Amino acid sequence: METIAALDKAVEQVDVAIEKIKDEMATPGPKNEDHVIRLEYALADWNCAFAFLRATQKQVKLHYRKMKLLEQ
């Protein structure tokens, strides 16, 4: 169960990072094109991390459910 808690926390932290990048991108005002590109790369990277963590989280939860069934 520690694994699930750690994955839940990691997913939450990545989600927060994604929201911070989106907020920075939405901030009005002039932006340097290089900075915008870096933000878009960062957002893409964090979205990949989020997808991987969510998939891993689901697999681990399914594994624990399967193990509980086998114990019965």
Give CA angle at 7 (62, 39), nearest 5°: 125
What pLDDT is attached to residue 29?
83
What pLDDT is attached to residue 22?
94
Rounded Cα distance, 15 and 49, in Å? 10
What pLDDT is attached to residue 72?
86
What pLDDT is attached to residue 61?
93
Residue type for 6, please?
A: A
Per-residue pLDDT tens listing for the chain (72 residues): 788 899 899 999 999 999 999 999 998 888 889 988 999 999 999 999 999 999 999 999 999 999 999 998
Sign of the Cα torsion 21, 23, 28, 29 reads negative
Contacts of 49 (CB under 8 A, 6+ apart): 14
- CB of 10 closer than 8 Å to CB of 53: yes
What pLDDT is attached to residue 32?
87
